[in-house]
Structure 1
Amino acid sequence: MRKLLLAVTILVMSISAKAQIEAPVKWSYAAKRISATEAVVFLKATIQDGWHIYSQTVKDGGPIKTSFTFAPAKEYALLGKTTEPTPVTKYEKSFSMDVSYFEKTVIFQQKIKLKSANVSIVKGQLEYMTCNNMKCLPPEDIDFSIPLGK
């Protein structure tokens, strides 16, 4: 009976170890006031070796592109679009097209116009998809809340 209980315990432990959720991308955030009326929000993705996330400019028919939605607020307004560095662009057989992506780290930036001196937090949501040379993980939505320093 003890051997059976031990075997079942080992089996359960090995199954739960395989069922752990993969999380190859970690997000971090920062903001910097550049004047009394402007700030820049930084959204940084740190990506495990072998994985990548996609640019904001991926064409339709390809993978889910990285996108940012900032919560509407009376205290600030977006200045232009969210910017990104130059991505790697390569043909991916799985999508039958050229796609642009980032490996290791990438920092996206969004300028904002401060309409009030009382702006303390910028909120929103980002969506991204991550893949390696074997598979893609389902797209993920992450809420963010970024404090603005003084």
Structure 2
Amino acid sequence: MSRWPGRKQGHSWRTASVWACFVIPRLLSLLATVVVISSCGRTEEAQAFYEALLAGDISALDEVAADGIDVNGEMIDGWTPLPFSIGNKRFASAEWLLSRGADANSMDGGGNSAISWAVKMRSGRHVRLLLERGSDPLSLRALSKRERSSM
């Protein structure tokens, strides 16, 4: 008999382990990000900038830029906008930031460069864009053996 009502025999522990190992940590991470964003006393402009970067909304980014937002300024947990955009696979946001003077060699709070994030995310478009804009290919940091071999 299954331990969970409505579940077939043999699937309950596999389902539970998937939830425990993958789904719940991801949800907690997402919740922590929301809590950090809402609790760090951000201005409306900074919040709009963050949301526009995450959405890849160029028209919203243009509106926020009119308010004088710093494209190299620190956002949350030491993240700067460019590695944040690349880590979230937002090509349009990354391209917009670089066209507005973002530092192609900017680092996140953990010391990973924008190009390191592009390699981690396995995004050839981002790597190419960063190299075209002068990113230092030797600034790759903290790459695992698998990530180095996929380059």
Q: TM-score range by the shorter chain?
A: under 0.3
Report the TM-score when normalising by structure 1. Answer: 0.27
Report the TM-score when normalising by structure 2. Answer: 0.27
Q: Which has the higher contact order (CA 8 A, sep 6+)?
A: 1
Larger radius of gyration: 1
Answer 1 or 2: which has greater strand percent: 1
Answer 1 or 2: which has greater helix percent: 2
